[in-house]
Amino acid sequence: MHCRTDFLLERDFQELKENNFKGITAFPVSEDLMEWGADIEGLQNTFWHGLFFQLKINFTSQYNFVPPVVKFLTIPFHPNVDQNTGRACIDILDDPDKWNTSYTLSSILLTLQVMLSNPVLENPVNLEAAQMLIKDESLYKQEVLRLLNQPTQLRNNSPEFPKDPDKLIRSTKAISFNDYYKTWSGIATSKATEYYRSP
CA 185-191-193 angle, to 5 degrees, is: 115
Torsion angles phi and psi, residue 89, rounded to 5: -105, 90
Catalytic, 3? Answer: no
Cβ-based neighbours of 187, under 8 Å, separated by 6 or more: 90, 91, 92, 103, 107, 111
Q: Which of 89, 115, 121, 187 is catalytic?
A: 89
Four-residue CA torsion sign, 69, 72, 78, 83: positive
From CA 37, how far away is CA 54, in angstroms rounded?
7
**Positions marked catalytic:** 89
